[in-house]
Amino acid sequence: MSDRGGDRGGGGSSARGRGGFSDRSGRGGYRGGRGDGGDRGGRGGGFRGGRGGRPRDTTIELAYSVNGSFPQPDAAVTALEDRLIKTQRSSAAGLAAQMAKTNIQAPPLQARSTDVFPLRPAFGTSGQPVTLWSNYFNVTFKPMVLYKYTFEFVQVGSETSSGEPSKSSKAASREVKGRKLYFAVRELLATLKAADKTLVLATEYKSQLVSLQKLKLAENPVRFRLAVETSGDKWDVIEATIHGPTEAPLDALLKYVGTMSEGPVDGLFPKYPDVVDALNVILGHGPRSKLHDISAVGSARFFPFGKDEAATNLFQDFHQLIAARGFFQSARLGTGRLLLNANVSHGVFRAAGRLADLFDRFQIRPTQALDNQAMRKIKAFAKFMPKTRVWAEITLSTGEAKPSDGKPLKFAPNYEYPGPKQVQFFLNDGKGGGQYISVFDYFKMKYKKTLKDYPLVNLGRADKPTLFPAEVIEIQPGQSVKARLTMNETTAMLDVACRSPFSNATSISADGRKTLGLDDNGLKPFGISVDKGLLTVRGRVLNVPMISYLNNQQKRSDVSPFNGSWNMRNVRVVKPGAMIERWTFLNIMKRSDSPIIEVPAMKDFAKFLGSNMGIRIKDSPLVPGDGKMFTSWDRAMSDGLENFFTWAKNNRIQYVFFVLTEKDSQGLYSRIKSLSDCTFGIHTSVVTSKHLLKPNNFMYYANVGLKVNLKAGGVNHRLREDVGLLKEGRTMVAGYDVTHPTNMTTARDAREAPSLVGLVASIDKDLAQWPATRLELWQKHNQGALPDNIVIFRDGVSEGQFSQVLELELPSIRQACRAKYPANASPPRLTIVVSVKRHQTRFFPTSSDAMSDSGNIRNGTVVDRGVTQARYWDFFLTAHHALKGTARPAHYTVILDEIFRQKYKATAANELERLTHELCYLYGRATKAVSICPPAYYADIVCERARAHRPEIFDASDADSVSTAGKVSPAASRQVHETLQDSMYYI
């Protein structure tokens, strides 16, 4: 008999539990699968909904409008934006005149209030105007006051359905967590509404409650009973303590978006966060309430399961994972209106379904410890077993199907993961005796069921196992996974997430609205409604800069990018780096029969770099005395790399090419870079043999050559025309990012582990060399002068952290400048622009004329109005050409400006947008515009390299593979070698 029960669980005779293999040490847990069903698709339709039958991403949809018609951006919003900018421009002009008369010397640790979160000087005007769809909906709401409460739960006891204390009831109070917390919150809402039926409530089912009225609590804490999921006659006694309220004034927010006048929140950023948070609680309450249909992940992502599910099996590396499509939503402030940002999102989940089907899919069988291949497979499969929620479809007869009288289970010898024939338990006969019986024989006798040869699953504890056969276990759907994916899984996940702009826009408009409950009745009691159609906005396509190289006669040769990219046919790098006189290479083989690269092939490669690209490198590599240019993967991971680097150092090798015969998935790259960058100070490039063995693979040669030249100090290409601010050669452009540890096992480890800053800066107006060292190198390359201006791109900061950059990081920057600049000299003027790539804003073409060949908006598209606040200076820029998928613009926000508004006044927005856009064409290791400007991009790469230098802190998978048998101490690996510090070693 199968009885899954309801939300209260435990009803009838079914068993519920959390999965785990019955290995002897109690390891494991599991979440099962959905067989081989592929992507189940979603509902198609236009940007206002509908249910077309469109297959997933088989073609690029060209119809972005109906008969060439689409809604124009809201005229009232446009007029309000223009009025606000006119007012701000007048204010900025007065300030600029005042600043021009003043010697600009701010205190070293302080910025002028007018320079912090500066008023937007104007909307940009450069470029070709376009109208675009956005993934925003207009939200209307009534000007009222919401009341926010917080709460916490404790379990104070347990009792039976008749009210008698349960035998297992514990006297001490315990905090309610996890899945039980969800049911406790739901019961609290039901209790409150039962006492006052007029209440209108919303919650995020964790710690917050939003109400239209003030609560009238007869008692606080509120006490109630909560049914235990796994038992039909046990109830937990819960007490909920409610704190508050604090007011969330929607009327004040409405006034602000209509005027951008700050009033009581002057100087705060972001504006009205508590009110926006309350709105997000209300908007998310509906989908969060549908526990069995929608899985809520984090604060803003929702994934439908069941009939509305859109999921694809990943099933890589024996991991039973699926990729599911869901939706993100977040309320945001715009000019003159409240907006709802909605986007397609993809997440990784444990596959759901019958466990036996998954065992068959992956050929999982009981495994002996000596079978290494089978053990690797089943351990990989078991990785995602812990804490899995399952249904056990079986009738249990009390006292029969579990060990008794303290007699232990018996296991067949050498079975690490035994099946029903390999495990016996003692079965009472009810007369004081009994005998051992195998799980297989018991099920055949008791249930007339012949079990197959699958590993048993432990739904109990390691020290008190409760074993079930796989045939009776079903994995519950909607269980998200927080784990780092393997390389194969990442590739498969990217394939699933790569959807055309049209597919994403229609999914948001149709399936997204359904999943997020935007058309349900739950929002109406709060006076909130979400418009049906996506909003259109005004954008502009900026002009593409010309790129300069040298031709074979060493004269300038200009190249015109097309779709954001170009090639180096018949041109050479602008400036070769230092001569690479002494270089070598080493093959690292995974298998003994792996194809390797010989000396003649490397000579051809070096000849191409020199003759075709103009890079200064000797034709022939240096060869060790034994002539061996290869080693095994295992040897390299032990002492082989150190021995090779020692030989290279002793022979004054400047550059090493490591040729891998297979993709690295065991931390080899990290080990190479840690030794080369930090211990020995030798430039390296990691290449793959299959690309070098491919005849005439000149594109690959060129890509590697670009990195080689940058590491040698060269300049690959320039812009034909210097960007205005940089023409005088007095402006440094810098970028920095911060990376934090992710592999900390305890809170103390996390507190004591380092957070690393990756900082790069230009050294001259070529903007080609970006070493991870700063003002000293600028002086060296600029006749001892220091820059008058420093434009800083800060990468990877959320809006809630903008103020921290100004309060914590800016003082350190000013202090560093004070220490370097002479006492009688003015410190540099600073502009800090935060660049963010991990956001949810997307834009879509409204017509084929404004569309790239991949269905995206055209490269160079900038949007600074419609979905922004006119008060702040920010813009979205899609500098790159997205070959597939949906292009993600970079979001730039000016949080400090002492340069542009003073120098350019009303055209400051155009100048900053042009600088940012054209910088994207100066990414040195590519012949295309990149999606984020190089200062931020390079800083991110420096951080990634710093992580590779410290795998034991930042990367568990790499750390597991890094040998500790070497002679290099961890402390020595933490600093870049002095010979590489002033170079682009990280590229």
pLDDT of residue 461: 80
**24-38, 168-182, 623-637, 892-906: range with highest mean pLDDT:** 892-906
pLDDT of residue 848: 84
**Residue 18 pLDDT more than 60?**
no
Residue 599: exposed, middle, or buried by beta-carbon count in 10 A (0-12, 13-18, 19+)? Answer: middle
50 falls in which pLDDT band (50, 70, 90)? very low
d(CA 218, CA 901): 58
The backbone region for 244, taken as left when phi is positive above 0, alpha when psi lies in -120 to 50, beta otherwise, is left
Beta pairing, strands 301-304 & 136-140: unpaired
Mean pLDDT of 810-823: 89
pLDDT of residue 513: 96
Residue 744 near residue 750, CB atoms below 8 Å: yes
Q: Residue written as tokens 């050294």? A: 763
* E strand or H helix that includes residue 187: helix 178-195
pLDDT of residue 564: 94
pLDDT of residue 408: 85
Angstrom distances, CA of residue 188 to CA of 152, 176, 204, 229, 742: 11, 13, 13, 17, 36
Beta strands in 429-495 (DSSP E): 434-438, 457-458, 467-468, 473-475
842 falls in which pLDDT band (50, 70, 90)? very high
d(CA 671, CA 678): 10
Of the listed ranges 163-167, 588-592, 817-821, the least confidently predicted one is: 163-167
Two tokens at 113? Answer: 């209030």
HEC assignment per residue over 55-118: CCCCCCCCCCCECCECCCCCHHHHHHHHHHHHHHHHHHHHHHHHHHCCCCCCCCCCCCCCCECC
d(CA 545, CA 565): 11
Two tokens at 753? Answer: 């582990």
What one-character DSSP code corresponds to residue 215? -
Would you call 323 helix, strand, or coil by DSSP? strand
Residue 349 near residue 321, CB atoms below 8 Å: yes
d(CA 665, CA 771): 28
Percent of the chain exceeding pLDDT 70 equals 84
Beta strands in 334-433 (DSSP E): 338-350, 353-354, 367-368, 388-392, 410-411, 415-417, 423-428
Give yes or no for a cis peptide into 270 (omega within 30° of 0): yes
Summarised one tens digit per residue, pLDDT across range 191-224 is 999 999 999 999 999 999 999 999 999 999 999 9
Beta strands in 461-576 (DSSP E): 467-468, 473-475, 529-530, 536-541, 547-550, 556-559
- Mean per-residue pLDDT over the chain, rounded: 85
Of the listed ranges 43-52, 83-92, 930-939, the least confidently predicted one is: 43-52
Higher pLDDT, 608 or 9: 608
**Residue 470 neighbours by CB under 8 Å, 6+ apart:** 355, 356, 359, 452, 454, 455, 456, 457
pLDDT of residue 556: 93
Residue 617 near residue 584, CB atoms below 8 Å: no
Mean pLDDT of 954-958: 46
* E strand or H helix that includes residue 284: helix 273-289
Q: How many residues does the chain have?
A: 987
108 falls in which pLDDT band (50, 70, 90)? very low
pLDDT of residue 349: 94
974 falls in which pLDDT band (50, 70, 90)? low
Mean pLDDT of 637-643: 89
Q: How many CA atoms lie within 13 A of 453 on its CB side?
A: 6
725 falls in which pLDDT band (50, 70, 90)? confident
Residue 732 near residue 761, CB atoms below 8 Å: yes
pLDDT of residue 773: 62
* E strand or H helix that includes residue 611: helix 599-613
**59-63, 336-340, 670-674: range with highest mean pLDDT:** 336-340
d(CA 197, CA 213): 12
922 falls in which pLDDT band (50, 70, 90)? very high
Question: One-letter amino acid identity for 172?
Answer: A
d(CA 765, CA 785): 13
Summarised one tens digit per residue, pLDDT across range 285-295 is 999 999 999 99
* E strand or H helix that includes residue 738: strand 731-739
d(CA 667, CA 959): 7
HEC assignment per residue over 140-171: ECCCCEEEEEEEEEEEEEEECCCCCECCCCCC
* E strand or H helix that includes residue 488: helix 487-497
pLDDT of residue 830: 96
Of the listed ranges 319-333, 480-494, 863-877, 896-910, the least confidently predicted one is: 480-494
Beta pairing, strands 556-559 & 890-897: unpaired
pLDDT of residue 403: 46
Mean pLDDT of 632-647: 89
Residue 319 near residue 492, CB atoms below 8 Å: no
d(CA 726, CA 731): 6
Percent of the chain exceeding pLDDT 90 equals 58
**Residue 601 pLDDT more than 70?**
yes
d(CA 572, CA 706): 10
d(CA 516, CA 507): 12
Residue 327 near residue 342, CB atoms below 8 Å: yes
Summarised one tens digit per residue, pLDDT across range 58-87 is 444 444 665 668 899 999 999 999 999 998
Mean pLDDT of 104-132: 80
Residue 212: closest CA among 522, 545, 548, 566: 522
pLDDT of residue 11: 34
Instruction: Tell me how far the alpha carbon of residue 780 is from its chain's centroid.
Output: 38
Summarised one tens digit per residue, pLDDT across range 356-396 is 999 999 999 998 888 888 888 888 888 888 889 999 887 65
Give yes or no for a cis peptide into 403 (omega within 30° of 0): no
pLDDT of residue 370: 81
Residue 793 near residue 735, CB atoms below 8 Å: yes
Give backbone dihedrals phi and psi of 364, rounded to 5 degrees, phi first. Answer: -90, 130
Would you call 560 helix, strand, or coil by DSSP? coil
**Residue 696 pLDDT more than 70?**
yes
Would you call 911 helix, strand, or coil by DSSP? helix
**Residue 661 pLDDT more than 50?**
yes
pLDDT of residue 394: 73
Beta strands in 840-911 (DSSP E): 843-845, 861-863, 874-878, 890-897
Summarised one tens digit per residue, pLDDT across range 527-548 is 999 999 999 999 999 999 999 9
Residue 520: closest CA among 302, 838, 666: 302
Q: What residue spans of 712-789 are helical by DSSP H?
A: 747-752, 775-781
> Between 599-613 and 698-711, two packed helices, what is the crossing angle to 10 degrees?
70
DSSP string for 615-656: --B-SS----TT---EEEHHHIIIIIHHHHHHHHHHTT--EE
**Residue 771 pLDDT more than 50?**
yes
Residue 890 near residue 932, CB atoms below 8 Å: yes
What one-character DSSP code corresponds to residue 799? G
Angstrom distances, CA of residue 817 to CA of 109, 409, 786, 787, 902: 11, 71, 10, 10, 21
**Residue 778 pLDDT more than 50?**
yes
**Residue 881 pLDDT more than 80?**
yes
Two tokens at 871? Answer: 């008060």
pLDDT of residue 35: 35
Q: Residue written as tokens 């994995």? A: 475
**Residue 617 pLDDT more than 90?**
yes
What end-to-end distance do the CA atoms of the chain give, in Å? 62
d(CA 701, CA 184): 61
Two tokens at 865? Answer: 């109005």
Summarised one tens digit per residue, pLDDT across range 220-247 is 999 999 988 766 678 899 999 999 999 9
d(CA 836, CA 843): 16
Give yes or no for a cis peptide into 741 (omega within 30° of 0): no
Higher pLDDT, 633 or 859: 859
pLDDT of residue 66: 58
pLDDT of residue 169: 55
